[in-house]
Amino acid sequence: MNVHGVRPTMPSQAPEPTGRLAEAPSVQPQASEDVIEISTAGRLAARVAELPEVRADLVARVKAEIENGTYETAERIEITADRLADELFGEL
């Protein structure tokens, strides 16, 4: 192998700009609207969570009265009919 000398390295030079750098266009945040869709099952679950707790003692008492035949009285039937009429037709 034949080597014909070593050339010294040239000092590094910074690159020269070839023109003005174009300014980057300003980026404006775009307004966006978040959308949430809640399923029917989700709405029902939320309503169930708002219901008051079951009064087990009252349920047991009413069930026993129904089984014994003592729940339906003339007074209760009248009260129920009045409430139903108020619900359907408003208070008269």
Burial class (CB in 10 A: 0-12, 13-18, 19+), 65: middle
How are the residues of the chain apportioned to helix, strand and coil, as percentages rounded to the nearest 5?
A: 45, 0, 55
pLDDT at 57 (0 to 100): 96
- Yes or no: say if 71 and 59 are a contact pair by the CB < 8 Å rule: no
Return the pLDDT at 29.
Answer: 73
CA 24 to chain CA mean position, Å: 39
Distance CA 60, CA 76 (A): 18
pLDDT averaged over consecutive 10-residue blocks of the chain (92 residues)?
Answer: 61 64 64 85 92 94 95 95 93 66
